[in-house]
Amino acid sequence: MYNLLYKYLLERTAINTDSFNRLTQYFTIVKYKKNEQILRPGDICRNNYFVNAGCLRFYTTNKEGYELTRYFAFEGKFGTALTSFIEQKPSFEYIQCLESSELLVISHQDFFNLVNTVPEMNFLYRNILEMAYVTTQRRIYGLQGETALERLRWLMNYQPDIFKRASSRVIATYLGITTYTLSRLKAEL
């Protein structure tokens, strides 16, 4: 149940078995169905999610109603609507399960209690924030400075599994292009 979380923490911290066992008491295992929305704009994100199985998609819609995907969290990753989670203010994005998913869920209160009392969690939180910043920077510069073909190549190299697990429509919203353009670019490769 918690093997993937333990592996994740061991790769990033020097957590011992006792500390890990204490941490797991704060997580709840929750199963969601494919396409289930676990957060909608206007809701306050009260949980952080660790993906045990499945895939989460984080997205919003623009003024014209087009979906814009920000992030995918696959097995072995944390994911949350970070701004809403930290500030405890309404979210501007959706969290959707792209597949039937099993998540380890920890509440805002428990998460920050652990961050403040367990050194490994404090280190982990810093790591999560650093990676969120790096990912955001890459996304911004990728969308501003790279062609659609370059963005597609990057995705194929660094997240190839996404093409097996998400629809072309969803992938196009991540790349900032239409499904037609995605089809055309894939044919060029």
* Residue-wise pLDDT tens digits, 113-150: 999 998 888 988 998 899 889 888 887 877 778 899 99
Partner residues linked to 68 by β-bridges: 60
Is the domain spanning 3-145 CATH 3.40.50.970? The answer is no
The answer to whether 45 touches 39, Cβ cutoff 8 Å, is: yes
Residue 23 structure tokens = 């941490």
The answer to whether 108 touches 80, Cβ cutoff 8 Å, is: no
**pLDDT exceeds 90 at position 189:** no
Query: How far is C-alpha 104 from the chain's CA centre?
Result: 13
Residue 157: the pLDDT is 92
Of the chain, the percentage scoring pLDDT greater than 70 comes to 100
Digit-coded pLDDT (tens) for 50-61:
999 999 999 999
> What three-state secondary structure class fits 187?
helix
Residue 138: the pLDDT is 83
Residue 171: the pLDDT is 96
- pTM (2 d.p.): 0.91
d(CA 189, CA 185): 7
> What three-state secondary structure class fits 44?
strand
CA dist 161 → 26, 41, 60, 143, 156 (Å): 30, 28, 22, 21, 8
